[in-house]
Structure 1
Amino acid sequence: MTTTKEFDDTALVCIQDYENRAKEVLPPPVFNWYMDYADEGQTMKDCKNAFKRYRLRPRVLRDVSNRQFSTTVLGHPVSFPICISPTAGQRFADIEGDKTTARAAETLNTIMIVSSSAFFTFEDISLAAPNAMLWFQIHLFKDQKVTRFYVKQAERAGFKAVVVTIDSPVLGNKRSMKRGFVAPREEYRLVNLYDPNNPEVRSAIANGDIALWDYWWEQMVNSETWEGIHWLRNITKLPIVVKGVLTGDSAREAVQAGVDAILVSAHGGRQLDGVPATIDALPEVVKAVKDSGVEVYMDGGVRQGTDVFKALALGARAVFLGRPIIWGLANDGENGVKKVLEIVRDEFSVTMALAGCSKLDDIKASMVIHESQYLSKL
């Protein structure tokens, strides 16, 4: 949990400042869990570094005295194209975790994707922020009754879309766990899990939270295919977003499966190491779904306003923040989350102005170029 140690938030002027401060205030096992990655961490590191490989090509002498960056995501109005990715274990950073984040999203009028392993029920989170635009994240669990139970809970709580994580048929290779690192589980309750009347769940609860946690992971290990998305389409009228697409081939399969949107994501570098950085994968996915009506978003490595600009120029309708939201929570709860979002938003606004854009439609693909195109001319 966060400490009450005093700090001057005026000294926190960028996302890196918030991360540095979070490392100070969070217990080392908790911070290390948030920062954990698969294998050597190549993908986790590259998702952030890859943005630096893209250069901006600004237009000058444009009237940028008034800038407008509100938009819609799946038809829902948001104040800016910066949203919140699903992140487990938020209560390790703030006592009310997901509810706190939902309140910040509500205040700033942006979207929050709630993790299926949240500490609170979907209903509790919705009640904490009744006007927030909430989506929920699930896996295609081995037992379809588990998936159905999640979906129906979220529908009753008023959630507006279902986000299916599709890159986790097994857990990524975490060397830290093989070396004996144990994820923090204090006060962890998988409250949204399948109906406790299920005998397997009753047994897991009787044996303690670790058994319940293990049951949850066991349900994730599956051999689902795109047929699972077709099945999901038949049990809910909510829009379906698939999270974890990194190639054009997978994007086209997603379109054929009838999804409404794609979230280009590498799972924070926690699953398959060595996949492309999400900003590098984004153009291929955007091209693959062109004219399909499927919206494309991305997460992974977004840390500043120029990153948002680059992602939008390369075809993303919005970006989602994961770990930075945790750093905000750890530092100052709801206010910290709002400050993190506001920092990135304000940096994005400045980037728009300096690039000669007064509205989102002014951001063109020609305004961002990979550095290799400059280096090849030397």
Structure 2
Amino acid sequence: MTAQLPPLDHIPADLVSAADYQRYAARHMSANARAYVDSAAADELSHAANLGAFARRQLQTQVLADVRGGHCRSELFGLSLSHPLLLAPVAYQKLVHADGERAAAYAATAMGSSMLVSTLASTPLEEVAAAAQGALWFQLYWQHDRAVVAELVQRAEAAGYRALVLTVDAPLAGVRNAEARAGFQLPPRVQAANLAGMAPYQPALAAGQSMVFDGLMAVAPSWADIDWLRQQTRLPLLLKGVLAPRDARRAMQQGVDGLIVSNHGGRVLDSVPASLDALPRIAEAVDGALPLLLDGGIRRGSDILKALALGASAVLIGRPYIHALATAGALGVAHLLRTLQEELEVAMALTGCRTLADISPEVLWPE
């Protein structure tokens, strides 16, 4: 077995894409960390579908277009971004690098982006905000006690977070066979720092009751909880994990400010559609009434262009930046963001798009 290598302090010449970071990260992550980061639910069909959905769609070039003075700057919930690319919430980042979430958030803000910091971060949300010195969003996992939820929201507001993102597609963990086969366990030094000292949920089940239906789902959030949460915060509220048009319409009715179209990287329920395949139906349902973000499968700047052409205002990346973090810390994350921005600019220029406003379904070759 090859020994785990320490993070690099430079970017090698042959590290030029997200795929290269995945290749390098295999040597810089422990087998335990790889089991967590790189696996997905069950047979990993939805994870593969995320990648396949981008590969299926081709771009339509536009020659002789005047794109001088072009850029890919973006405005989103009051944030001025250098590009429409944010870091998705990923738990337990100290699994792959000692600086964990602090390094990733620092890189994001340094590169004109933002990061969604997970409830299950291995660094307290206040420390991440202090390290970043920029505008971050806080991702909320619903807790069994509303008082705990309210406390997390208040902490995020006090620390200067600019938006609240409630994950709604993971009220319980997916069936992650690859993790189980590998015997994945959190090492003692890596814990959910934001939940430290909070009593874990321990359902008291009677004989014959189901841990799923009578235990975990008994305290899962409902639409009534969305109403309550909307009243607890002045921050923009987004729901992450929406794939069905009916859920998108219901979210609009209840005053949600944005949606993240996501299948959780294929990590919760296998055999759900790729995020990109769900995006056009969600875009039709909301009809421009609120911003949509796309999460899942982004590996190239051209993928960003495809997502924006199908209705997204911005996209998130997850595994790619964790691979970059494991490989070269904050330097790696910053380099990856720069690489993807440059790839997006090339794709925009060659499809005749001077700014993001020029991106439309016409940049896609008809299927």
Q: TM-score, normalised by structure 1?
A: 0.88
1:357: which partner in 2? 353
Q: CA RMSD in A?
A: 2.0
2:140: which partner in 1? 138
Please state how far the C-alpha of 1:67 moved relative to its aligned partner: 1.8
Distance 1:168 1:55 in 2: 32
Structure 1 pair 134/287, CA: closer, same or farther in 2 (3 Å)?
same
Is the 8 Å Cα contact of residues 141 and 220 (structure 1) preserved in structure 2? no
Alignment equivalent of 1:287, drawn from 280, 284, 288: 284
Please state how far the C-alpha of 1:220 moved relative to its aligned partner: 8.3
Structure 1 pair 185/219, CA: closer, same or farther in 2 (3 Å)?
farther
Structure 1 pair 101/55, CA: closer, same or farther in 2 (3 Å)?
same
Q: Does 1:326 align with 2:329?
A: no
1:236: which partner in 2? 233
Is the 8 Å Cα contact of residues 92 and 192 (structure 2) preserved in structure 1? no
Is the 8 Å Cα contact of residues 48 and 302 (structure 1) preserved in structure 2? yes
Structure 1 pair 128/22, CA: closer, same or farther in 2 (3 Å)?
same
Alignment equivalent of 1:276, drawn from 273, 276, 298: 273
Structure 1 pair 259/274, CA: closer, same or farther in 2 (3 Å)?
same
Please state how far the C-alpha of 1:179 moved relative to its aligned partner: 3.6
Is the 8 Å Cα contact of residues 42 and 177 (structure 2) preserved in structure 1? yes
Alignment equivalent of 1:67, drawn from 48, 55, 70: 70
Is the 8 Å Cα contact of residues 140 and 228 (structure 1) preserved in structure 2? no
1:257: which partner in 2? 254
Q: Secondary structure at the match of 1:320?
A: strand
Distance 1:315 1:121 in 2: 34
Is the 8 Å Cα contact of residues 89 and 119 (structure 1) preserved in structure 2? yes
Q: Does 1:344 align with 2:340?
A: yes
Please state how far the C-alpha of 1:186 moved relative to its aligned partner: 3.4
Distance 1:221 1:81 in 2: 37
Q: Secondary structure at the match of 2:193?
A: coil
Q: Secondary structure at the match of 1:192?
A: helix
Structure 1 pair 319/4, CA: closer, same or farther in 2 (3 Å)?
closer
Please state how far the C-alpha of 1:178 moved relative to its aligned partner: 4.4
Q: Does 1:100 align with 2:78?
A: no
Please state how far the C-alpha of 1:89 moved relative to its aligned partner: 1.5
Is the 8 Å Cα contact of residues 35 and 179 (structure 2) preserved in structure 1? no
2:186: which partner in 1? 184
Distance 1:308 1:37 in 2: 22
Please state how far the C-alpha of 1:239 moved relative to its aligned partner: 0.6
Q: Does 1:31 align with 2:27?
A: no
Structure 1 pair 34/335, CA: closer, same or farther in 2 (3 Å)?
same
Please state how far the C-alpha of 1:364 moved relative to its aligned partner: 1.2
2:117: which partner in 1? 114
Structure 2 stretches lacking a partner, 5+ long = 203-214
2:244: which partner in 1? 247
Is the 8 Å Cα contact of residues 2 and 93 (structure 1) preserved in structure 2? no
**In structure 2, what residue type is equivalent to 1:86?**
P
Distance 2:167 2:174 in 1: 14
**In structure 2, what residue type is equivalent to 1:316?**
A
1:209: which partner in 2? none
Distance 1:240 1:338 in 2: 27
Please state how far the C-alpha of 1:185 moved relative to its aligned partner: 2.5
Please state how far the C-alpha of 1:354 moved relative to its aligned partner: 0.8
Distance 1:299 1:108 in 2: 19
Is the 8 Å Cα contact of residues 11 and 328 (structure 2) preserved in structure 1? no
Please state how far the C-alpha of 1:370 moved relative to its aligned partner: 5.2
Q: Does 1:307 align with 2:303?
A: yes
Q: TM-score, normalised by structure 2?
A: 0.91
Distance 1:6 1:164 in 2: 35
1:110-164 CA distances to partner (integer Å, 9 max, x unpaired)? 110001011111111111122x120011122221111111111111111011100
Please state how far the C-alpha of 1:98 moved relative to its aligned partner: 0.5
Is the 8 Å Cα contact of residues 141 and 221 (structure 1) preserved in structure 2? no
Distance 1:221 1:324 in 2: 34
Distance 2:260 2:361 in 1: 19
